[in-house]
Amino acid sequence: MSEALLLSLIHKLDINYLMYKPYWEINEEKERVIKEMREIVDIVRDKKLEEGKTLNFLVSDLVNVIEDAVDLFKRGKTYHTYYGSIHTWIGEIKTRLFKLGDDGAEKRSSENVEDDKYVVGLDEDVQMLLRSKIFGGKGYRSNPIVVIKGMCGIGKTTLAREIYNHPTVVERFECRLWVSNSTDLTIKELLIKLIQQVEDAENLRTSSLLEDMDNRSLRDMLSQHLQGTRYLIVLDDVPKQMRLKSFLEALPQEFHESRLLFTSHTTHVDLDVDDENVHKMKPLDSKKSWQLFLKTINHGNKLTGDHKFPMNLEHMGKQMLRKCGGLPLAIKEVGKQLAEKKVSGGSEWEQLLESVDFDSTLKLLEPFYHKLDPKLDSCFLSMAFFKENTTLRKEKLKHIWFAGGVLSSTSYYNYESYLHGLTNDSFIEVQDRST
């Protein structure tokens, strides 16, 4: 069934390119798109994929991409203007299809690793976001999209959850929806998850009924549910490759009193937001790091009496925490690790502090590094030659990358694109020394 549908899509694309695209634009773009589509058919055929849920979801997303492209052709528009290059999106779906197992299933792995049980140092962030972005904005037509940005483990999910459950937010928004994403979430799954949350319990449709619907029908259904409702939708951990324009089209056009809150390590190309609507998270300072550590190691692990962390070792503990760089995820992991060792082994705290294994903390950050664009791998790895928190001039970094073979003679003068890539994905921070 999927193979036949894919072949029909190729035919539809072929016809509409000829009908609606100027002849001088046809050949190169058409050949690239059709080539990608035929390779997808080969993948489905050669792997003999069964009609699994993930396969059907990916094909539904692909149908959506082609239908949107055809509609734009008919209106005399280019796909690139609205959504980015069509073959880029098709290529993303092709990559995921290639990774499917023979049963049409995909290993699902949520990258939401942040634990919001213990919260420290977010009061100012919460109040600022509520005041200036959730309830504020520049008048009637303020941008409803707000982005919480930062590296993995810095507390994006925790902050978003504090906003989502804040009493004034619960009172203000009639409908609140939350979806935690992962790199393998499809647009169809996203729409289904939102619809299942927004429907009344007695009218809740079964997953199988929603899965049989196409993306456009799901978009229309979600739009009808949200029409005339003041809503807050949180998409947690938005993957870079997710085609968000398709999701945004499911929302009512006049939603100036509603809000969309995204958490992400990157600035998504589909989100039309300026710096005023992006909240960049910062690491905890030493004081707040210490507070979170004590909460985690004492209260979180129920250490009592003599087992509790002794305050006379505060200086030694803070020295150890410096290696966490103010990252809540790392601080919590260290606290849990120490508490488990204390309970199971009964060693002295001095010995435990010296035996902390930071390798386990680094493993928790691996999903973040796997998100990096492969062409930026060498640029980022070269940072290992410098001390922590080193500040470099951009020109010096360019010369270092070139001397180390990271930049070629052809890319030497385009080094800013590499710098922008690392900055945009929250791997490095650019400081303005003019102020």
In degrees, to the nearest 5, what angle opens at C-alpha 430 toward C-alphas 424 and 434?
140
Supply the pLDDT for residue 203. Answer: 60
Supply the pLDDT for residue 170. Answer: 94
151-188 burial: b if 16+ Cβ within 10 Å, else e: bbbbbbbbbbbbbbebeebeebbeebbbbbbebbbbbb
Given its phi and psi angles, is residue 237 left (phi above 0), alpha (psi -120 to 50 degrees) or beta? left
DSSP 8-state class, residue 232: E
Supply the pLDDT for residue 199. Answer: 76
- Provide the percentage of residues in the chain whose pLDDT is more than 70: 80
pLDDT in tens, 353-387: 888 878 777 777 777 777 777 778 888 888 777 77
CA pair distance 105, 100, nearest whole angstrom: 6
Supply the pLDDT for residue 362. Answer: 76
Q: What is the average per-residue pLDDT within 141-156?
A: 83
Find out whether 317 and 293 touch, Cβ atoms under 8 Å. Answer: yes
> pTM above the 0.95 mark?
no
Q: Report residue 277: phi and psi, to 5°.
A: -100, 10
Residue 260 burial (CB count, 10 A): 22
Q: Report residue 236: phi and psi, to 5°.
A: -95, 130
Using alpha carbons, select from 198, 193, 191, 260 the residue that is nearest to residue 220. 191
pLDDT level of residue 111 (50, 70, 90 thresholds): very low
Query: Which of 12-16, 25-29, 126-130, 371-375 bottoms out in mean pLDDT, i.e. has the lowest?
Result: 25-29
Supply the pLDDT for residue 419. Answer: 83
CA pair distance 99, 105, nearest whole angstrom: 9
Find out whether 332 and 118 touch, Cβ atoms under 8 Å. Answer: yes
Find out whether 230 and 116 touch, Cβ atoms under 8 Å. Answer: no
pLDDT level of residue 410 (50, 70, 90 thresholds): low
Cβ neighbors of 262 (< 8 A, separation 6 or more) are 145, 146, 147, 148, 234, 235, 238, 268, 271
Q: How does strand 278-280 pair with strand 231-236?
A: unpaired
In degrees, to the nearest 5, what angle opens at C-alpha 57 toward C-alphas 55 and 62?
95
Q: What is the average per-residue pLDDT within 219-237?
A: 91
DSSP 8-state class, residue 253: S
